[in-house]
Chain A
Amino acid sequence: MEYAIEATDLAKSYGEGHTRVEALKGISMAVRPGELFAIMGASGSGKTTLLMILGLVTEPTEGRVLLEGENIYNGKRFDLQRLRREKVGFIFQFANLIPFLTAKENVLLSLELIGIFGRQADSRAMELLEYLEVADRAGNLPEQLSGGERQRVAIARALANNPAIILADEPTAALDTERGLSVMRLLRKVSKDQGTAILVVTHDTRMISEVDGVIRLMDGRMVEHGDSKRQPQSQNGR
């Protein structure tokens, strides 16, 4: 299994007839464990749609997705909800923590979903919060945390199930450059430390310094799938 996630010839269209929107066409991409990729593109170019397909939330109209080598949308009807809670982690623009659960409980919930309870769950949750340097806020509700802290807790939650892939939709958009960068560096660290493949949708070109590569979309088509370190010109060409 070379790739954490691999997609071939993905296409996605919404609606029928003259309201039909081709959100994605002929997308092929692959990310290895431990790699951090940015998905970039203008508004409406299909970034979120791609994330939904890779995150097992929406079926593609065409093409196939291999998650850790397993063909997901093969008509065999996987329990997508179960796969999602076991193999995928999500991070959002706003942390989207459950407001009535404390930071720690938010992480505990994700652990519970994969069947880890009790003291074991407790120590794992604290471990994750420590790793993300928010252990001292473990007992606080999301509304008592700053935006950056919230996003860190959200990352801890996304890591709880030890996922194969983490999908983040504009996680830095609501933060200032300083905090945004620190979140990106954190994701960088996470992907290296945990060996998780991470895909981050972002508009912010300043974040590119932290990523292994960029997947650039334009009107639903992929115009770039590169390694930032090997092809530094491609970003400068913007």
Chain B
Amino acid sequence: MNLAVKDIRYHFFKFLTSTIGVGLLLMVMLTIGGIIRGIILDSSTITETTGADLWVVQKAWLGPFVEISRFPEDYYHAIQSMHGVAEASPLVMAWDHVERAMRPTQLMKFMYMNTLIGTRTMVEPGWIDMPHDSRFIVIGYEPGHIGGPPTIIAGRGIEASHYEIVADVKTGLQVGERIRLGDFDYTVVGLTRNMVGYTADPVIYASLDDAQNILFEADPDLLRNIRRRTQQQVLGAAALDPRIGGPLAQQASQIAENVSLVNAIAVKVAPGVPVDEVAQEITRWKHLEVYTAAREVNMQLMGSNRLILLQLSLFRLILLVIAGVVIGLITYTFTLDKLKEIAVLKLLGTQTRRIYAMILQQAVLMGLLGTLLGAALEFASEPYFPRRVVATRGDVVQMLIVISVIAFLASIMAIRRATKVDPRSVLGT
């Protein structure tokens, strides 16, 4: 006969309500774990899904996202023909934004209001009514090369060479919707999912040419700059012969104007070739910076999101301690309510370990049921978070193990109290 189960059956409501309390606490813990994983996934998803081994960017620039590098597109031909390179894909990737009417849900509005409590004085009055910029990342890729949307959940991929885009669902765009980017209108032909940058801004995919139009064409300063630089270089070289210097410089500046720029080249290394070797080769040969995919993810994660991860981890640790204390206190009061019965059990000659097992089993059972309840609530609430929250079954298993240990430790206080119960106290009553 299991005394713990029988006692729970009798005090069912008390046990149930306490377990719900513990479950809610553990739900928060699992959610924070899910938020942490969400940030990690957001920071790595583009790099991961592109599947490149190496990311090539402008010399001394940090990655294609952390800083926006720029260099001529045609470098990629040279890289592609290098030994050990299986594929080189020129990519354009930069932030852009459009003014879009937001369609906030009731929940969103509530969350906004909540954020403002106590912080309203810190921001300009009326900021919430200002027009909202919808920020996103534009990624331009050459169809057939790596770097495009990994999955299409609605509509189709980009087929025409111009004016078609595939957007992440988080942009709020619908298939068939038209949106003005730069100087042209683009049609959303498909949707993808979970493609966001490390800042959680969703991605819009376009063909390389379109992306160059959207992101670069509207920047005459840069063009003027390039033109001047090329002119000067040519003029310097042609200074010895002024007769040909003039026309040559003019021609050169025209060429420069037509130079297409990219932000990065994603490189896939051929099987069997050491990645480092290819990386060194590119660095030596061109005035370029090369990062491995792992380093790339590391920069986005540890460079920008490191502190928020530590912040959340510490909070999670504190919650674990709190969960332990709560389970301990509940178990202790359960035991206080049972002192008389414990005395009777002792007087009847019940083995003490059986009495302690009853207390321990209740604590562990509460922890385990609480975890399962918390997990169910966590999974149910994940879709309502504005950023990605991803708890896994592994998290739940881990929590089950950790909480068993915690509950074990937490019940020590109650067990110590039970050891002090004197069976003599029942006599005379």
Q: Which A positions have Cβ atoms within 8 angstroms of B?
A: 48, 51-52, 55, 57-58, 81-86, 88, 90, 92-94, 96, 98-101, 105, 108-110, 112-113, 141, 157, 169-170
Contact = CB atoms under 8 A, between A and B. Distances in A.
Interface in B1-32: 1, 3, 6-7, 9-11
A100 B426 contact: no
B341 A84 contact: no
Contacts of A99: 10, 341
Contacts of B423: 57
20 contacts: A48-B427, A57-B423, A57-B427, A58-B424, A81-B351, A82-B349, A90-B426, A94-B429, A99-B341, A100-B3, A100-B6, A100-B341, A105-B6, A108-B1, A109-B350, A112-B1, A113-B349, A157-B348, A169-B427, A169-B428
Given A90-B426, A112-B1, 10 more contacts: A51-B427, A55-B427, A84-B349, A90-B427, A93-B429, A94-B429, A96-B426, A105-B1, A105-B6, A169-B427
Given A92-B426, A93-B428, A96-B429, A141 B348 contact: no
Nearest to B343: A96
B223 interface: no
Given A52-B427, A92-B429, A113-B349, A141 B10 contact: yes
B1 A90 contact: no
Contacts of B347: 57, 84, 90
B340 interface: yes
B344 interface: yes
B348 A113 contact: yes
Contact of B341 (A58, A98, A112): A98
Q: How large is the interface on B (under 10, 10 to 19, 20 to 34, 35 or more residues)?
A: 20 to 34
Contacts of A101: 1, 6
Contact of A81 (B9, B344, B349): B349
Given A57-B423, A98-B345, A105-B6, A113 B428 contact: no
Q: What 10 pairs between A and B have smallest CB-CB spacing?
A: A85-B349, A100-B10, A84-B349, A48-B428, A100-B7, A96-B344, A81-B349, A100-B6, A57-B424, A48-B427
A162 to B, nearest CB: 14
Contact of A98 (B344, B352, B428): B344
Nearest to B5: A100
Contacts of A157: 348
A44 to B, nearest CB: 11
A153 B351 CA distance: 22
B29 to A, nearest CB: 31
A86 B340 CA distance: 22
A56 to B, nearest CB: 9
A48 B428 CA distance: 6
A52 B343 CA distance: 14
A101 B1 CA distance: 10
Contacts of B350: 85, 109, 113
Contact of B1 (A88, A109, A170): A109
A101 B340 CA distance: 14
A82 to B, nearest CB: 7
B343 to A, nearest CB: 9
A89 B358 CA distance: 23
A93 B340 CA distance: 14
